[in-house]
Structure 1
Amino acid sequence: MSQNLFEKSILKDMEYFFSEDDLSRNHSYISQLPDELVSCSLKIKDDMILSGLPYFVAAFNYLGAQLDWNIFKEYEGKQFSKSDLSQINFTLPFSLALTGERIALNLLQRSSSIATFTNKFATLAAKRGIKILDTRKTTPGLRGLEKYSVKQGGGFNHRLGQSDVWMVKDNHKSFFGGVKQAVEYFRNMNGFYTPIEVEIHDIDELKIAFDLGVNHLMLDNFTPEQIKEAISLKKNGVTYEASGGINLSSLESYLIEGLDAISVGSITYGAPSVDLSLKYQRD
Protein backbone atom coordinates (compact mmCIF):
# COMPACT_ATOMS: atom_id res chain seq x y z
CA MET A 1 0.00 0.00 0.00
CA SER A 2 1.30 3.47 -0.91
CA GLN A 3 0.42 5.45 2.20
CA ASN A 4 1.11 8.76 0.48
CA LEU A 5 -1.38 7.98 -2.30
CA PHE A 6 -3.89 6.73 0.25
CA GLU A 7 -3.71 9.93 2.26
CA LYS A 8 -4.15 12.03 -0.87
CA SER A 9 -7.17 9.96 -1.91
CA ILE A 10 -9.01 10.69 1.36
CA LEU A 11 -7.96 14.33 1.73
CA LYS A 12 -11.52 15.60 1.22
CA ASP A 13 -12.78 13.05 3.73
CA MET A 14 -10.33 14.35 6.33
CA GLU A 15 -11.38 17.93 5.62
CA TYR A 16 -14.98 16.90 6.28
CA PHE A 17 -14.17 14.88 9.41
CA PHE A 18 -12.19 17.70 11.01
CA SER A 19 -14.75 20.33 10.02
CA GLU A 20 -17.10 18.72 12.55
CA ASP A 21 -14.77 19.88 15.34
CA ASP A 22 -14.90 23.43 13.95
CA LEU A 23 -11.37 24.25 15.08
CA SER A 24 -11.13 27.26 12.79
CA ARG A 25 -13.33 29.40 15.02
CA ASN A 26 -10.97 29.22 17.98
CA HIS A 27 -7.56 30.33 16.74
CA SER A 28 -6.29 31.22 20.20
CA TYR A 29 -6.91 27.68 21.42
CA ILE A 30 -5.01 26.16 18.50
CA SER A 31 -2.11 28.61 18.77
CA GLN A 32 -1.57 27.95 22.48
CA LEU A 33 -1.41 24.14 22.41
CA PRO A 34 2.12 22.98 23.42
CA ASP A 35 4.18 21.26 20.72
CA GLU A 36 6.38 19.14 23.01
CA LEU A 37 6.63 15.52 21.95
CA VAL A 38 4.60 12.93 23.82
CA SER A 39 4.93 9.14 23.86
CA CYS A 40 1.69 7.65 22.50
CA SER A 41 0.33 4.16 23.03
CA LEU A 42 -2.55 2.83 20.97
CA LYS A 43 -4.06 0.18 23.25
CA ILE A 44 -6.01 -2.76 21.83
CA LYS A 45 -8.53 -3.73 24.49
CA ASP A 46 -10.76 -6.31 22.79
CA ASP A 47 -10.64 -9.42 20.65
CA MET A 48 -10.58 -7.89 17.17
CA ILE A 49 -9.19 -7.56 13.70
CA LEU A 50 -7.41 -4.22 13.73
CA SER A 51 -8.47 -2.28 10.65
CA GLY A 52 -8.33 1.35 9.59
CA LEU A 53 -4.77 2.23 10.54
CA PRO A 54 -4.30 4.05 7.20
CA TYR A 55 -7.15 6.38 8.26
CA PHE A 56 -5.73 6.66 11.79
CA VAL A 57 -2.32 7.73 10.46
CA ALA A 58 -3.82 10.00 7.81
CA ALA A 59 -5.85 11.88 10.44
CA PHE A 60 -2.72 12.96 12.29
CA ASN A 61 -0.72 13.60 9.14
CA TYR A 62 -3.55 15.78 7.81
CA LEU A 63 -2.83 18.04 10.80
CA GLY A 64 0.85 18.21 9.96
CA ALA A 65 2.33 15.18 11.71
CA GLN A 66 4.82 13.01 9.91
CA LEU A 67 3.91 9.59 11.22
CA ASP A 68 5.82 6.83 9.46
CA TRP A 69 3.46 4.24 7.97
CA ASN A 70 6.15 1.58 8.44
CA ILE A 71 5.51 1.71 12.19
CA PHE A 72 1.90 0.64 11.65
CA LYS A 73 1.61 -1.42 8.48
CA GLU A 74 2.42 -4.82 10.02
CA TYR A 75 -0.58 -4.46 12.35
CA GLU A 76 -3.21 -3.67 9.74
CA GLY A 77 -5.64 -6.57 9.30
CA LYS A 78 -4.05 -8.54 12.15
CA GLN A 79 -6.09 -10.56 14.64
CA PHE A 80 -5.60 -9.48 18.27
CA SER A 81 -6.76 -11.02 21.55
CA LYS A 82 -7.85 -8.91 24.50
CA SER A 83 -5.66 -10.95 26.82
CA ASP A 84 -2.51 -10.00 24.88
CA LEU A 85 -2.71 -6.38 26.14
CA SER A 86 -1.19 -5.30 22.81
CA GLN A 87 -0.26 -1.72 22.01
CA ILE A 88 1.41 0.26 19.23
CA ASN A 89 3.87 2.93 20.33
CA PHE A 90 4.80 6.14 18.51
CA THR A 91 5.48 9.81 19.20
CA LEU A 92 3.60 12.98 18.28
CA PRO A 93 3.64 16.64 19.24
CA PHE A 94 1.14 17.09 22.09
CA SER A 95 -0.83 19.64 20.05
CA LEU A 96 -1.43 17.15 17.23
CA ALA A 97 -2.09 14.20 19.51
CA LEU A 98 -4.77 16.16 21.37
CA THR A 99 -6.35 17.65 18.25
CA GLY A 100 -6.46 14.49 16.15
CA GLU A 101 -7.07 11.85 18.81
CA ARG A 102 -10.86 11.58 18.73
CA ILE A 103 -11.29 11.57 14.96
CA ALA A 104 -8.40 9.14 14.46
CA LEU A 105 -9.82 6.79 17.10
CA ASN A 106 -13.39 7.09 15.80
CA LEU A 107 -12.27 6.02 12.33
CA LEU A 108 -10.10 3.21 13.64
CA GLN A 109 -12.80 1.90 15.95
CA ARG A 110 -15.46 1.97 13.23
CA SER A 111 -13.22 0.17 10.77
CA SER A 112 -12.05 -2.44 13.29
CA SER A 113 -15.62 -3.10 14.43
CA ILE A 114 -16.79 -3.78 10.88
CA ALA A 115 -13.75 -5.89 9.98
CA THR A 116 -14.15 -7.97 13.15
CA PHE A 117 -17.88 -8.53 12.62
CA THR A 118 -17.46 -9.29 8.91
CA ASN A 119 -14.81 -11.87 9.70
CA LYS A 120 -17.25 -13.85 11.84
CA PHE A 121 -19.51 -14.26 8.79
CA ALA A 122 -16.69 -14.73 6.28
CA THR A 123 -14.94 -17.43 8.32
CA LEU A 124 -18.11 -19.54 8.50
CA ALA A 125 -19.08 -19.00 4.86
CA ALA A 126 -15.60 -19.74 3.49
CA LYS A 127 -15.91 -23.35 4.67
CA ARG A 128 -18.56 -23.81 1.96
CA GLY A 129 -16.87 -21.62 -0.64
CA ILE A 130 -19.46 -18.87 -0.26
CA LYS A 131 -18.51 -15.19 -0.24
CA ILE A 132 -19.94 -12.61 2.15
CA LEU A 133 -20.90 -9.34 0.45
CA ASP A 134 -21.68 -5.93 1.90
CA THR A 135 -24.49 -3.67 0.67
CA ARG A 136 -25.05 0.07 0.17
CA LYS A 137 -26.48 0.24 3.71
CA THR A 138 -23.53 2.31 4.85
CA THR A 139 -23.15 5.41 6.99
CA PRO A 140 -23.35 8.60 4.86
CA GLY A 141 -19.84 10.01 4.54
CA LEU A 142 -18.19 6.75 5.63
CA ARG A 143 -18.84 4.43 2.69
CA GLY A 144 -15.18 4.35 1.64
CA LEU A 145 -14.05 3.45 5.15
CA GLU A 146 -16.78 0.87 5.67
CA LYS A 147 -16.28 -0.84 2.32
CA TYR A 148 -12.53 -0.95 2.99
CA SER A 149 -13.19 -2.51 6.39
CA VAL A 150 -15.37 -5.26 4.95
CA LYS A 151 -12.48 -6.38 2.75
CA GLN A 152 -10.09 -6.28 5.71
CA GLY A 153 -12.44 -8.69 7.48
CA GLY A 154 -12.45 -11.16 4.60
CA GLY A 155 -15.67 -9.98 2.96
CA PHE A 156 -16.28 -8.65 -0.54
CA ASN A 157 -17.75 -5.39 -1.81
CA HIS A 158 -21.04 -5.65 -3.69
CA ARG A 159 -21.43 -2.16 -5.16
CA LEU A 160 -19.60 1.04 -4.31
CA GLY A 161 -22.37 3.01 -6.02
CA GLN A 162 -25.66 2.54 -7.84
CA SER A 163 -24.20 2.46 -11.33
CA ASP A 164 -21.52 -0.20 -10.71
CA VAL A 165 -24.21 -2.80 -11.42
CA TRP A 166 -27.74 -2.21 -12.68
CA MET A 167 -29.76 -3.71 -9.82
CA VAL A 168 -33.35 -4.54 -10.75
CA LYS A 169 -35.21 -4.35 -7.46
CA ASP A 170 -38.84 -4.89 -6.46
CA ASN A 171 -39.69 -1.20 -6.87
CA HIS A 172 -38.36 -1.26 -10.45
CA LYS A 173 -40.49 -4.29 -11.24
CA SER A 174 -43.53 -2.67 -9.68
CA PHE A 175 -43.05 0.60 -11.58
CA PHE A 176 -42.21 -0.86 -15.00
CA GLY A 177 -44.67 -3.75 -14.83
CA GLY A 178 -42.56 -6.83 -14.17
CA VAL A 179 -39.13 -8.44 -14.48
CA LYS A 180 -39.06 -8.34 -18.29
CA GLN A 181 -39.95 -4.66 -18.59
CA ALA A 182 -37.52 -3.62 -15.83
CA VAL A 183 -34.63 -5.58 -17.37
CA GLU A 184 -35.37 -4.04 -20.78
CA TYR A 185 -35.30 -0.58 -19.22
CA PHE A 186 -31.77 -1.07 -17.92
CA ARG A 187 -30.56 -2.80 -21.06
CA ASN A 188 -31.74 0.21 -23.06
CA MET A 189 -29.27 2.36 -21.08
CA ASN A 190 -26.58 0.77 -23.28
CA GLY A 191 -24.08 0.26 -20.49
CA PHE A 192 -21.85 -1.99 -22.56
CA TYR A 193 -19.75 -3.22 -19.62
CA THR A 194 -22.35 -2.68 -16.89
CA PRO A 195 -23.82 -6.00 -15.68
CA ILE A 196 -27.41 -6.45 -14.56
CA GLU A 197 -28.50 -8.22 -11.40
CA VAL A 198 -32.16 -9.01 -10.77
CA GLU A 199 -33.72 -9.28 -7.33
CA ILE A 200 -35.82 -12.46 -7.43
CA HIS A 201 -38.75 -13.10 -5.10
CA ASP A 202 -40.05 -16.48 -6.26
CA ILE A 203 -39.34 -19.35 -8.64
CA ASP A 204 -41.59 -17.92 -11.36
CA GLU A 205 -39.48 -14.73 -11.47
CA LEU A 206 -36.37 -16.88 -11.53
CA LYS A 207 -37.56 -18.67 -14.67
CA ILE A 208 -38.38 -15.35 -16.36
CA ALA A 209 -34.87 -14.06 -15.57
CA PHE A 210 -33.37 -17.23 -17.08
CA ASP A 211 -35.40 -16.70 -20.27
CA LEU A 212 -34.08 -13.13 -20.44
CA GLY A 213 -30.50 -14.35 -20.19
CA VAL A 214 -29.76 -12.64 -16.87
CA ASN A 215 -26.70 -14.19 -15.23
CA HIS A 216 -26.65 -12.52 -11.80
CA LEU A 217 -29.58 -13.24 -9.53
CA MET A 218 -30.32 -12.14 -5.98
CA LEU A 219 -32.59 -14.59 -4.17
CA ASP A 220 -34.27 -12.11 -1.88
CA ASN A 221 -35.88 -13.38 1.34
CA PHE A 222 -35.77 -16.97 0.08
CA THR A 223 -35.93 -19.66 2.75
CA PRO A 224 -33.15 -22.28 2.74
CA GLU A 225 -35.64 -24.73 1.17
CA GLN A 226 -36.48 -22.24 -1.61
CA ILE A 227 -32.77 -21.67 -2.23
CA LYS A 228 -32.27 -25.41 -2.64
CA GLU A 229 -35.08 -25.49 -5.19
CA ALA A 230 -33.53 -22.55 -7.06
CA ILE A 231 -30.15 -24.30 -7.07
CA SER A 232 -31.74 -27.36 -8.65
CA LEU A 233 -32.66 -25.10 -11.60
CA LYS A 234 -29.34 -23.22 -11.76
CA LYS A 235 -27.70 -22.89 -15.17
CA ASN A 236 -24.01 -22.73 -16.05
CA GLY A 237 -22.51 -19.27 -15.77
CA VAL A 238 -25.22 -18.02 -13.40
CA THR A 239 -24.41 -16.41 -10.05
CA TYR A 240 -26.73 -16.79 -7.07
CA GLU A 241 -26.65 -14.32 -4.19
CA ALA A 242 -28.88 -14.80 -1.14
CA SER A 243 -30.09 -11.75 0.74
CA GLY A 244 -32.63 -10.62 3.28
CA GLY A 245 -32.17 -10.52 7.03
CA ILE A 246 -29.51 -13.22 7.25
CA ASN A 247 -27.60 -12.89 10.52
CA LEU A 248 -24.96 -14.82 12.45
CA SER A 249 -27.48 -17.04 14.17
CA SER A 250 -29.21 -18.03 10.91
CA LEU A 251 -26.15 -18.04 8.63
CA GLU A 252 -25.37 -21.74 8.98
CA SER A 253 -28.69 -22.77 7.45
CA TYR A 254 -27.94 -20.67 4.33
CA LEU A 255 -24.53 -22.20 3.64
CA ILE A 256 -25.88 -24.32 0.82
CA GLU A 257 -23.77 -25.85 -1.94
CA GLY A 258 -24.42 -24.03 -5.21
CA LEU A 259 -24.90 -20.63 -3.58
CA ASP A 260 -22.17 -18.19 -4.59
CA ALA A 261 -22.61 -15.31 -2.16
CA ILE A 262 -24.64 -13.94 0.72
CA SER A 263 -25.12 -10.20 1.13
CA VAL A 264 -25.42 -8.94 4.70
CA GLY A 265 -26.28 -5.29 5.34
CA SER A 266 -25.69 -5.60 9.08
CA ILE A 267 -21.93 -6.06 8.69
CA THR A 268 -21.74 -2.31 8.10
CA TYR A 269 -24.76 -0.89 9.92
CA GLY A 270 -24.88 -3.31 12.85
CA ALA A 271 -21.29 -4.17 13.76
CA PRO A 272 -20.76 -4.25 17.56
CA SER A 273 -18.13 -1.75 18.68
CA VAL A 274 -14.66 -2.88 19.73
CA ASP A 275 -12.63 -1.11 22.41
CA LEU A 276 -9.51 0.94 21.63
CA SER A 277 -7.84 3.83 23.40
CA LEU A 278 -4.94 6.22 22.89
CA LYS A 279 -2.83 7.20 25.89
CA TYR A 280 0.11 9.58 25.87
CA GLN A 281 2.55 11.09 28.30
CA ARG A 282 5.20 13.75 28.20
CA ASP A 283 8.69 12.52 27.32
Structure 2
Amino acid sequence: MQADPRVFLMGEDVGRYGGAYAVSLGLLEEFGPERIRDTPLSESAFVGAGIGAALNGLRPIVEIMTVNFSLLALDQILNTAATIRHMSGGQFSVPVIIRMATGAGRQLAAQHSHSLENWYAHIPGLRVVAPATLEDARGMLTTALTCPDPVVIFEHATLYNLEGELPADAGAVDLRRAAIRRSGKDLTLITYGGSLPKCMDAATQLAAAGIDAEVIDLRSLRPLDDQTLLASVARTRRFVVVDEGWRSGSLAGELIARITETAFYDLDAAPVRVCSEEVPIPYAKHLEEAALPQTDKIVRAAQTVMNRG
Protein backbone atom coordinates (compact mmCIF):
# COMPACT_ATOMS: atom_id res chain seq x y z
CA MET A 1 0.00 0.00 0.00
CA GLN A 2 2.93 2.31 0.59
CA ALA A 3 4.27 1.59 -2.89
CA ASP A 4 1.03 1.76 -4.90
CA PRO A 5 -1.74 4.28 -4.19
CA ARG A 6 -4.20 2.20 -6.22
CA VAL A 7 -4.17 -0.54 -3.54
CA PHE A 8 -6.87 -0.43 -0.89
CA LEU A 9 -8.34 -2.92 1.60
CA MET A 10 -12.03 -3.49 2.18
CA GLY A 11 -14.06 -5.94 4.25
CA GLU A 12 -15.89 -6.50 7.50
CA ASP A 13 -14.10 -5.08 10.57
CA VAL A 14 -10.84 -4.45 8.70
CA GLY A 15 -10.67 -0.82 9.90
CA ARG A 16 -11.45 0.24 13.45
CA TYR A 17 -11.39 -3.31 14.79
CA GLY A 18 -8.16 -4.17 12.99
CA GLY A 19 -9.47 -7.33 11.32
CA ALA A 20 -11.09 -10.45 12.74
CA TYR A 21 -7.60 -11.95 13.11
CA ALA A 22 -5.78 -8.62 13.66
CA VAL A 23 -4.30 -8.81 10.16
CA SER A 24 -5.04 -5.13 9.43
CA LEU A 25 -4.33 -3.76 12.90
CA GLY A 26 -2.99 -0.20 12.65
CA LEU A 27 -3.62 0.20 8.93
CA LEU A 28 -6.57 2.54 9.38
CA GLU A 29 -4.39 4.96 11.32
CA GLU A 30 -1.66 4.79 8.68
CA PHE A 31 -3.73 4.94 5.48
CA GLY A 32 -7.08 6.44 6.50
CA PRO A 33 -10.70 5.44 5.80
CA GLU A 34 -10.45 5.95 2.02
CA ARG A 35 -8.00 3.05 1.71
CA ILE A 36 -9.02 0.93 4.70
CA ARG A 37 -12.75 0.55 4.23
CA ASP A 38 -15.10 -1.12 6.69
CA THR A 39 -18.02 -2.60 4.75
CA PRO A 40 -21.59 -3.58 5.57
CA LEU A 41 -22.28 -7.24 6.36
CA SER A 42 -23.04 -8.10 2.74
CA GLU A 43 -20.39 -10.20 1.04
CA SER A 44 -22.09 -10.10 -2.33
CA ALA A 45 -22.19 -6.30 -2.21
CA PHE A 46 -18.62 -5.60 -1.18
CA VAL A 47 -17.07 -8.32 -3.36
CA GLY A 48 -19.04 -6.84 -6.25
CA ALA A 49 -17.74 -3.38 -5.34
CA GLY A 50 -14.20 -4.76 -5.35
CA ILE A 51 -14.73 -6.22 -8.83
CA GLY A 52 -16.03 -2.88 -10.06
CA ALA A 53 -13.06 -1.05 -8.56
CA ALA A 54 -10.66 -3.48 -10.24
CA LEU A 55 -12.36 -2.95 -13.60
CA ASN A 56 -11.82 0.78 -13.15
CA GLY A 57 -8.08 0.65 -12.56
CA LEU A 58 -7.74 0.19 -8.81
CA ARG A 59 -6.10 -2.73 -6.99
CA PRO A 60 -8.58 -3.80 -4.32
CA ILE A 61 -7.82 -6.38 -1.65
CA VAL A 62 -11.16 -7.75 -0.48
CA GLU A 63 -11.14 -9.58 2.84
CA ILE A 64 -13.88 -12.11 3.57
CA MET A 65 -13.86 -12.96 7.25
CA THR A 66 -14.12 -16.76 6.86
CA VAL A 67 -14.48 -19.05 3.88
CA ASN A 68 -18.09 -19.98 4.64
CA PHE A 69 -19.10 -16.33 4.17
CA SER A 70 -17.60 -16.42 0.67
CA LEU A 71 -20.55 -18.57 -0.38
CA LEU A 72 -22.69 -15.44 -0.12
CA ALA A 73 -20.48 -13.89 -2.82
CA LEU A 74 -20.06 -17.00 -4.97
CA ASP A 75 -22.11 -15.54 -7.81
CA GLN A 76 -19.85 -12.48 -7.94
CA ILE A 77 -16.69 -14.61 -7.85
CA LEU A 78 -17.78 -17.37 -10.24
CA ASN A 79 -20.07 -15.61 -12.68
CA THR A 80 -18.39 -12.20 -12.78
CA ALA A 81 -14.76 -12.02 -11.65
CA ALA A 82 -13.73 -15.35 -13.20
CA THR A 83 -15.50 -14.84 -16.54
CA ILE A 84 -15.13 -11.20 -17.61
CA ARG A 85 -11.80 -11.64 -19.38
CA HIS A 86 -13.24 -14.51 -21.42
CA MET A 87 -16.63 -12.95 -22.07
CA SER A 88 -15.11 -9.62 -23.13
CA GLY A 89 -12.74 -11.28 -25.56
CA GLY A 90 -9.77 -10.15 -23.49
CA GLN A 91 -10.81 -6.48 -23.45
CA PHE A 92 -11.23 -6.34 -19.66
CA SER A 93 -9.38 -7.90 -16.75
CA VAL A 94 -10.34 -8.08 -13.08
CA PRO A 95 -7.20 -7.65 -10.93
CA VAL A 96 -8.98 -8.17 -7.63
CA ILE A 97 -7.52 -10.07 -4.66
CA ILE A 98 -9.95 -11.93 -2.42
CA ARG A 99 -8.48 -13.08 0.90
CA MET A 100 -10.24 -15.31 3.40
CA ALA A 101 -9.54 -17.37 6.50
CA THR A 102 -10.05 -21.08 5.99
CA GLY A 103 -9.80 -24.34 7.87
CA ALA A 104 -10.67 -25.82 11.25
CA GLY A 105 -8.85 -26.40 14.53
CA ARG A 106 -10.13 -23.39 16.47
CA GLN A 107 -13.40 -24.80 17.88
CA LEU A 108 -15.57 -22.57 15.71
CA ALA A 109 -17.97 -25.44 14.95
CA ALA A 110 -19.60 -26.54 11.72
CA GLN A 111 -20.39 -23.16 10.15
CA HIS A 112 -16.93 -21.58 10.49
CA SER A 113 -14.55 -24.50 9.97
CA HIS A 114 -14.78 -25.25 6.27
CA SER A 115 -11.96 -26.05 3.85
CA LEU A 116 -13.54 -25.21 0.50
CA GLU A 117 -10.38 -24.48 -1.46
CA ASN A 118 -11.21 -27.24 -3.92
CA TRP A 119 -14.44 -25.45 -4.92
CA TYR A 120 -12.49 -22.40 -6.04
CA ALA A 121 -9.62 -24.39 -7.56
CA HIS A 122 -12.28 -25.91 -9.84
CA ILE A 123 -13.09 -22.55 -11.50
CA PRO A 124 -11.27 -21.46 -14.69
CA GLY A 125 -10.43 -17.77 -14.64
CA LEU A 126 -9.26 -17.71 -11.02
CA ARG A 127 -5.83 -18.13 -9.52
CA VAL A 128 -6.01 -19.89 -6.16
CA VAL A 129 -3.15 -19.93 -3.65
CA ALA A 130 -2.66 -21.05 -0.04
CA PRO A 131 0.33 -19.67 1.89
CA ALA A 132 1.78 -21.82 4.66
CA THR A 133 4.84 -19.76 5.62
CA LEU A 134 5.50 -16.16 6.61
CA GLU A 135 7.43 -15.58 3.39
CA ASP A 136 4.55 -16.82 1.27
CA ALA A 137 1.92 -14.90 3.23
CA ARG A 138 3.68 -11.69 2.26
CA GLY A 139 5.18 -12.73 -1.07
CA MET A 140 1.99 -14.17 -2.54
CA LEU A 141 0.13 -10.94 -1.80
CA THR A 142 2.92 -8.94 -3.43
CA THR A 143 2.77 -11.07 -6.57
CA ALA A 144 -1.02 -11.13 -6.65
CA LEU A 145 -1.07 -7.32 -6.79
CA THR A 146 0.69 -7.51 -10.16
CA CYS A 147 -1.62 -10.19 -11.56
CA PRO A 148 -4.23 -9.13 -14.16
CA ASP A 149 -6.62 -11.90 -13.07
CA PRO A 150 -8.58 -12.43 -9.85
CA VAL A 151 -6.53 -14.15 -7.16
CA VAL A 152 -8.16 -15.98 -4.25
CA ILE A 153 -5.88 -16.38 -1.22
CA PHE A 154 -6.81 -18.97 1.41
CA GLU A 155 -5.15 -18.25 4.75
CA HIS A 156 -5.46 -21.07 7.28
CA ALA A 157 -6.52 -19.43 10.53
CA THR A 158 -4.31 -21.67 12.70
CA LEU A 159 -1.26 -20.16 10.99
CA TYR A 160 -2.01 -16.54 11.91
CA ASN A 161 0.01 -16.86 15.13
CA LEU A 162 3.22 -17.83 13.31
CA GLU A 163 6.09 -15.57 14.28
CA GLY A 164 9.42 -14.97 12.64
CA GLU A 165 11.70 -12.45 10.97
CA LEU A 166 11.28 -11.54 7.34
CA PRO A 167 14.32 -10.19 5.50
CA ALA A 168 14.14 -6.53 4.59
CA ASP A 169 14.21 -7.41 0.89
CA ALA A 170 11.45 -10.02 1.12
CA GLY A 171 9.33 -9.65 -1.99
CA ALA A 172 7.27 -11.44 -4.57
CA VAL A 173 7.10 -15.22 -4.94
CA ASP A 174 6.13 -17.31 -7.93
CA LEU A 175 2.42 -18.13 -7.62
CA ARG A 176 2.73 -21.04 -10.04
CA ARG A 177 5.30 -23.21 -8.27
CA ALA A 178 5.09 -25.76 -5.48
CA ALA A 179 7.92 -25.85 -2.93
CA ILE A 180 9.86 -28.84 -1.63
CA ARG A 181 9.93 -28.11 2.10
CA ARG A 182 11.87 -31.28 2.96
CA SER A 183 13.81 -33.53 0.61
CA GLY A 184 13.48 -37.30 0.86
CA LYS A 185 13.85 -40.48 -1.15
CA ASP A 186 11.31 -43.01 0.19
CA LEU A 187 7.93 -41.34 -0.31
CA THR A 188 6.34 -37.97 -1.04
CA LEU A 189 3.92 -36.17 1.29
CA ILE A 190 1.85 -33.63 -0.69
CA THR A 191 -0.07 -30.94 1.18
CA TYR A 192 -0.75 -27.21 1.53
CA GLY A 193 -1.75 -24.52 4.03
CA GLY A 194 -2.51 -25.53 7.60
CA SER A 195 -1.57 -29.17 7.04
CA LEU A 196 2.05 -28.37 6.18
CA PRO A 197 3.26 -28.22 9.83
CA LYS A 198 1.60 -31.59 10.49
CA CYS A 199 3.33 -33.13 7.47
CA MET A 200 6.67 -31.73 8.59
CA ASP A 201 6.14 -33.25 12.04
CA ALA A 202 5.11 -36.55 10.44
CA ALA A 203 8.25 -36.54 8.28
CA THR A 204 10.37 -36.11 11.44
CA GLN A 205 8.66 -39.07 13.10
CA LEU A 206 9.01 -41.17 9.96
CA ALA A 207 12.71 -40.36 9.76
CA ALA A 208 13.15 -41.74 13.26
CA ALA A 209 11.61 -44.98 11.95
CA GLY A 210 13.93 -45.10 8.95
CA ILE A 211 11.54 -43.65 6.36
CA ASP A 212 12.88 -40.64 4.46
CA ALA A 213 9.85 -38.55 3.42
CA GLU A 214 9.86 -35.66 0.98
CA VAL A 215 7.34 -32.91 1.80
CA ILE A 216 5.82 -30.79 -0.96
CA ASP A 217 3.87 -27.63 -0.22
CA LEU A 218 1.53 -27.06 -3.18
CA ARG A 219 1.26 -23.30 -2.55
CA SER A 220 -0.73 -22.85 -5.76
CA LEU A 221 -3.98 -24.81 -6.03
CA ARG A 222 -4.90 -23.38 -9.42
CA PRO A 223 -2.82 -23.83 -11.44
CA LEU A 224 -1.25 -26.94 -9.92
CA ASP A 225 2.48 -27.43 -10.41
CA ASP A 226 2.35 -30.85 -12.08
CA GLN A 227 6.04 -30.71 -12.97
CA THR A 228 7.27 -30.58 -9.37
CA LEU A 229 4.80 -33.25 -8.25
CA LEU A 230 5.66 -35.70 -11.02
CA ALA A 231 9.40 -35.20 -10.58
CA SER A 232 9.14 -35.96 -6.87
CA VAL A 233 6.99 -39.06 -7.35
CA ALA A 234 9.36 -40.31 -10.04
CA ARG A 235 12.13 -40.22 -7.42
CA THR A 236 10.26 -41.65 -4.43
CA ARG A 237 7.77 -43.92 -6.26
CA ARG A 238 5.22 -43.55 -3.44
CA PHE A 239 3.03 -40.69 -2.25
CA VAL A 240 0.44 -39.59 0.28
CA VAL A 241 -1.82 -36.56 -0.14
CA VAL A 242 -2.91 -34.64 2.98
CA ASP A 243 -5.92 -32.37 2.46
CA GLU A 244 -8.12 -30.85 5.18
CA GLY A 245 -11.07 -30.90 2.80
CA TRP A 246 -13.57 -33.74 2.96
CA ARG A 247 -12.52 -36.88 1.08
CA SER A 248 -15.46 -36.96 -1.33
CA GLY A 249 -14.73 -34.63 -4.24
CA SER A 250 -11.51 -33.49 -2.59
CA LEU A 251 -8.47 -31.76 -4.03
CA ALA A 252 -6.62 -34.87 -2.83
CA GLY A 253 -8.63 -36.96 -5.27
CA GLU A 254 -7.72 -34.61 -8.13
CA LEU A 255 -4.04 -34.82 -7.24
CA ILE A 256 -4.10 -38.61 -7.12
CA ALA A 257 -5.89 -38.74 -10.48
CA ARG A 258 -3.41 -36.37 -12.13
CA ILE A 259 -0.35 -38.18 -10.86
CA THR A 260 -1.59 -41.69 -11.62
CA GLU A 261 -2.77 -40.68 -15.11
CA THR A 262 0.78 -39.64 -15.97
CA ALA A 263 3.04 -41.62 -13.66
CA PHE A 264 1.16 -44.86 -12.97
CA TYR A 265 4.09 -47.06 -13.97
CA ASP A 266 6.47 -45.09 -11.75
CA LEU A 267 4.55 -46.10 -8.63
CA ASP A 268 5.54 -48.97 -6.35
CA ALA A 269 2.42 -48.67 -4.18
CA ALA A 270 -1.12 -47.34 -4.40
CA PRO A 271 -1.41 -43.73 -3.22
CA VAL A 272 -3.26 -42.86 -0.01
CA ARG A 273 -5.08 -39.66 0.99
CA VAL A 274 -5.60 -38.27 4.46
CA CYS A 275 -8.66 -35.99 4.60
CA SER A 276 -11.20 -34.74 7.10
CA GLU A 277 -13.89 -37.16 8.19
CA GLU A 278 -17.16 -36.97 6.29
CA VAL A 279 -18.98 -35.01 9.00
CA PRO A 280 -19.72 -31.35 9.76
CA ILE A 281 -16.73 -30.24 11.84
CA PRO A 282 -17.64 -30.70 15.53
CA TYR A 283 -17.34 -28.01 18.19
CA ALA A 284 -15.98 -30.20 20.99
CA LYS A 285 -12.19 -30.07 20.90
CA HIS A 286 -11.55 -33.81 21.08
CA LEU A 287 -14.11 -34.48 18.35
CA GLU A 288 -12.75 -31.69 16.15
CA GLU A 289 -9.26 -33.13 16.46
CA ALA A 290 -10.56 -36.59 15.62
CA ALA A 291 -12.28 -35.27 12.50
CA LEU A 292 -9.21 -33.54 11.03
CA PRO A 293 -6.00 -34.85 9.49
CA GLN A 294 -3.45 -35.16 12.28
CA THR A 295 0.21 -36.09 12.44
CA ASP A 296 -0.47 -39.64 13.65
CA LYS A 297 -2.89 -40.26 10.77
CA ILE A 298 -0.30 -39.04 8.29
CA VAL A 299 2.35 -41.30 9.81
CA ARG A 300 0.05 -44.32 9.58
CA ALA A 301 -0.82 -43.53 5.97
CA ALA A 302 2.87 -43.27 5.08
CA GLN A 303 3.58 -46.59 6.81
CA THR A 304 0.77 -48.18 4.80
CA VAL A 305 2.25 -46.92 1.54
CA MET A 306 5.64 -48.26 2.67
CA ASN A 307 4.02 -51.62 3.51
CA ARG A 308 4.81 -51.15 7.19
CA GLY A 309 1.30 -50.42 8.43
Q: TM-score, normalised by structure 2?
A: 0.27
1 or 2 for the larger relative contact order (CA 8 Å, sep ≥6)?
Answer: 1
